[in-house]
Homo-oligomer: A and B are copies of this chain.
């Protein structure tokens, strides 16, 4: 039973929070930006200092490896992403990188023996906040193992051609070609090189905090779909057109939204989450009745049967008119529930027990690089409590103590894997 160091974790958090510091608590650290490069440089500096061997692959994924006693054994990999959303926090993604760094540092400092090489890694462009889509480089790296339905979104040429949604016009490929930390495709993580993958991440929800649990033993990334739901009416002048004849697409959408809430709630399924986050209104002029109104619907649940029942509700919206308006729906994307490896989860649970850290099983509602890695390697995640469940905002926070506990549990789970795996 080994323990990571809380003061080293505090120092890591404070150091990495400087790269892309917005000046009001959080960071903007886009993939392949100068700030991302700063974070990579710090990773290299600290990992070289403990004797780790640094590599990068063609996607600028980065690896720091402490060799084990068995030269033929495959790597136990731990990591996450270093990029952030705009005005994001100091924990989403980077905590997993820092935790992996702290695991390797503890192993090196305390001379902990291990058979398998231990690798800390950084995945490039998990957020897709400058170059969509999210999970771009884990998608490319794990491409050959992805389900057919998912592959289509991660073709290499399409990813290289992804255009920056902000700032100077540039593609991901162009930015990658100029990034100082690139290597060979041979360096990519793969089942030939690695035997398992652990990712520590903040929960990004309030469940652990409310349950009074410090850590979550993640059992899966839950399945989801996203639809665009569109209402078509007629635009007429605000002052001159009689009410009974109007076909107001915004009002239609609001009727359908309430119906959607009622029908999805009536499925009476625990843990079903659904979100209508993005709207479009046309012509969006105060003196005109809206003739087109669209909202996105993001639905997530671990049980595929529930996802299908929810989908039936969505499709049923098109079978009638709403306030005189027609309704059409368009599937934007979807993913199946991705279970994590039971054996690795057992190592994590066991490490929590031995460390005396309170824990509970939990699903991941959000997508992570681990979700794609799980198609390729035995994979699991460890969640650290998020204060008030806030994430993707500068107020995102997890205590240093919880962060250090997460690293401690990952260290001990990795050592269990080292003992148990071939």
User: A residues touching B (Cβ–Cβ < 8 Å)?
Assistant: 203-207, 222, 224, 226, 235-243, 245, 248, 250-251, 253-255, 257-258, 261, 265, 271-279, 281, 283-290, 295-296, 298, 300, 332, 364-367, 389-393
**Distance between Cα atoms of A254 and B365 in the complex (Å):** 26
Q: Chain B nearest CB: distance from A8 CB in Å?
A: 28
Complex contacts, A392 vs chain B, CB 8 Å: 237, 287-288
Copies of this chain, how many?
2
Complex contacts, A275 vs chain B, CB 8 Å: 238, 248, 286-289
Once the chains bind, are B248 and A365 in contact (CB under 8 Å)? no
Complex contacts, A284 vs chain B, CB 8 Å: 277-279
Q: Chain B nearest CB: distance from A205 CB in Å?
A: 3
Known: A278-B286, A285-B278, A286-B277. A237 touches B296 (CB 8 A): no
Q: List 28 A-B contacts (CB under 8 A).
A: A203-B240, A204-B239, A205-B239, A222-B239, A235-B393, A237-B365, A237-B392, A238-B273, A239-B298, A239-B364, A239-B365, A239-B367, A240-B366, A241-B273, A242-B271, A243-B265, A243-B274, A250-B295, A254-B254, A254-B257, A275-B288, A277-B286, A278-B286, A279-B281, A279-B290, A286-B298, A287-B392, A288-B392
Complex contacts, A288 vs chain B, CB 8 Å: 275, 277, 392
Complex contacts, A393 vs chain B, CB 8 Å: 235
Complex contacts, A278 vs chain B, CB 8 Å: 281, 284-286
**Distance between Cα atoms of A285 and B127 in the complex (Å):** 13
**Distance between Cα atoms of A412 and B31 in the complex (Å):** 74
**Distance between Cα atoms of A285 and B279 in the complex (Å):** 8
Closest 10 CB pairs of A and B: A239-B365, A205-B240, A254-B254, A238-B275, A240-B365, A286-B296, A278-B286, A239-B366, A204-B240, A238-B298
**Distance between Cα atoms of A258 and B288 in the complex (Å):** 18
Among B239, B283, B389, contact of A241 (Cβ-Cβ < 8 Å)? B389
User: Chain B CB within 10 Å — which of A224, A272, A286, A300 has the most?
Assistant: A286
Complex contacts, A289 vs chain B, CB 8 Å: 275, 277
Known: A250-B276, A272-B243, A276-B251. A238 touches B287 (CB 8 A): no
Once the chains bind, are A239 and B300 in contact (CB under 8 Å)? yes
Complex contacts, A271 vs chain B, CB 8 Å: 242
**Distance between Cα atoms of A278 and B290 in the complex (Å):** 8
User: Chain B CB within 10 Å — which of A238, A241, A296 has the most?
Assistant: A238
Complex contacts, A243 vs chain B, CB 8 Å: 265, 272-274
Once the chains bind, are A286 and B248 in contact (CB under 8 Å)? no
Once the chains bind, are A206 and B238 in contact (CB under 8 Å)? no
Known: A242-B205, A242-B206. A236 touches B390 (CB 8 A): yes
Q: Supply 8 further A-B pairs (C-beta < 8 A) apart from A275-B286, A277-B283, A277-B284.
A: A206-B241, A235-B393, A237-B389, A238-B277, A240-B389, A251-B276, A277-B286, A288-B392
